[in-house]
Chains A and B, each alone.
Chain A
Amino acid sequence: MRNGTDRLRALNVPQRVQVELDEQRRPRVVKREAGNEKRVESFGENWRMDDEWWRQPIVRRYVEVVLEGGGRVVLFEDLITGEWFVQMPT
């Protein structure tokens, strides 16, 4: 039997991506891996989230986008590390 930590698998874990930004610091191109990049076709809502300031602060800037091909995803920038991630919209 596996132990408890491998038994629970979080759903909708953010995937790290490379993002090219436009002059307004909005994502223009999203690269998941080499050769797999998609242009952002339109923007939806954007919001900021500050959480868990009492232990390991989490500060994110979210933006909802539609990629070329029609895929709707949520991108966020970790404002502490500067890294970008993609997540499925909820």
Chain B
Amino acid sequence: MTLTPHLASDAAACCWIPLFALRSELARRPELVSLPVALLAPDTAHTPRVWQVAPLARRAGVKPGMTVSQAIGLCPGLKLCEPDPVHYDEQFARLVAALVTVSPVVEPVEVGRVFVGTDGLEGLYGAPEGIVEAIQMRSAECGMRNVLNAECGMRNAECKGKRREANDPSLKFRTPHSEFRIGWGRGKFVAWVAATRAKPGEAVIVPVGGEAKFLASQPLAVLPLDPDTHRRLLQLGVKTLGALVALPEEAVVSQYGHAGRRLWRLAAGLVSEPVVGRVVPEPIVAALTFFSSVGERDLLAHALDKLVDRALGDPRRSGWRVQVVRVHAELEHGASWLVEATLKDPSATRERIAAPLKTQLERSPPAGAVERLVVEFTAFAPGTAELQLFARDAGAAARAGRRRALQSAVREIALRIRRPMLYHIIEVQPWSRLPERRYALIDFET
């Protein structure tokens, strides 16, 4: 793990797995694969809304943002899943950790979408085709095959299509049976648009200098537009980026101001936003010197918890998950004790980090009483925006924890009494003058 002062790269590969959270859920619960499934949004506990929708449910008319009652009205067989953002984040962290082995410049944007800076990788992998292949290989090796191959209720016909040669300046590659899409180009915008054009398991490469030509045929929707601007441009007959660029830049600026200039330049391929990686934190250390030497394992385990907590609270750790943790103890008479654990799934929670250390404490305890205990996080894996949210927002972390505890309790109850006894209260027609139409109960399903 290196410490680099400027982790930025103009050449970008955008790795995108659409419906990542839903795929993670289906990989964990394969019995749902053939059903119309929708995931509820994580932040709408009072008025649950649909977040991600499997194609079978989408065919029935279910769309993200709908209320549960609307969704069930359209698709009576809809299977609704409670979201588990911590699980999705963990899965995504594994993918990101695998990508860090290709390039140190990695910028996760949201769960399922991450940019990899590829400047300087030509020496290792050759042309962009080689870099893309390396990314595909590493992502396939990260143990997420189930997630990448989760079918979401139907095998996309695109997946069965033959490899198509590109007619435009871009080239396409294919990894069969994967939902992983890659776009490569100069700057994040071009790479992202290329990724959205790639078919499942394929990559679209936009050669340097070919950005304007590639972008010209893309629909307006690829631009980061607010709905009003999008509508106004469509009313003006501007349907592609090429049509937007055909307008004089100053005319677009006079209509849409500063934002218009940015949109015009993005559409023309003149903006190249670099991928910005984050500097990996130096090891984070938390130490405790005991007043008197401690030999009891319970006390040592308790001290371990406290030290892991303290190290997790270090502001440098924010946005990073711990991958390698080391504990060393100074013992009486100058002896020492050392254990190290590499977490298969990098984590930012105390229990997960401390668990392997406590196991080792039980299996091979220190040979004498401990005078000083030191916990050190030595390697980190990048997190996502959600991870940063969890790390910084104690409320969000607590909500996620409560949700997990509730799901576990529900599973236990369902196992014991074999029928659903817990329900969600959902709003049906909260505006109705008839009280019985305002709210309803729906099975709480984990």
Contact = CB atoms under 8 A, between A and B. Distances in A.
A13 interface: yes
A10 B437 contact: yes
B442 interface: yes
Nearest to B35: A1
B435 interface: yes
Please classify the interface of chain B as helix (H, G, I), strand (E, B), loop, or mixed, using the class held by over half of its residues.
mixed
B16 to A, nearest CB: 32
A7 B433 contact: no
Interface stretch (B73-81, B170-178, B220-228, B310-318): B73-81
B185 to A, nearest CB: 45
B436 A11 contact: yes
Contacts of A21: none
B134 interface: no
A4 B439 contact: no
B436 A8 contact: no
Contacts of B425: 11
B435 A4 contact: no
B77 A4 contact: yes
Given A51-B433, A51-B434, A58-B434, A12 B439 contact: yes
A13 B443 CA distance: 18
B441 A9 contact: yes
A4 B79 contact: no
A49 to B, nearest CB: 6
Nearest to A52: B434
B428 A7 contact: no
B7 interface: no
B144 interface: no
B443 A7 contact: yes
Interface in A1-47: 1, 3-5, 7-14
B436 A87 contact: yes
A4 B441 contact: no
Contacts of B75: 4
A58 B78 CA distance: 31
A41 B433 CA distance: 27
B72 interface: yes
Contacts of B443: 7
A75 to B, nearest CB: 13
A8 B434 contact: no
B411 interface: no
Contacts of B35: 1
A81 interface: no
B118 interface: no
Given A8-B428, A8-B441, A8-B442, A3 B436 contact: no
Which of B35, B75, B78, B434 has the most chain A CB atoms closer than 10 A to its own CB? Answer: B434
10 nearest interchain CB pairs?
A4-B76, A4-B72, A11-B439, A9-B441, A8-B440, A3-B76, A90-B435, A13-B436, A12-B435, A10-B440
11 contacts: A1-B77, A4-B77, A7-B76, A7-B442, A8-B72, A8-B440, A10-B428, A11-B439, A11-B441, A58-B434, A88-B435
Interface of A: 1, 3-5, 7-14, 49, 51, 58, 87-88, 90
Given A7-B72, A8-B428, A49-B434, 6 more contacts: A4-B77, A7-B76, A8-B72, A9-B442, A12-B435, A12-B436
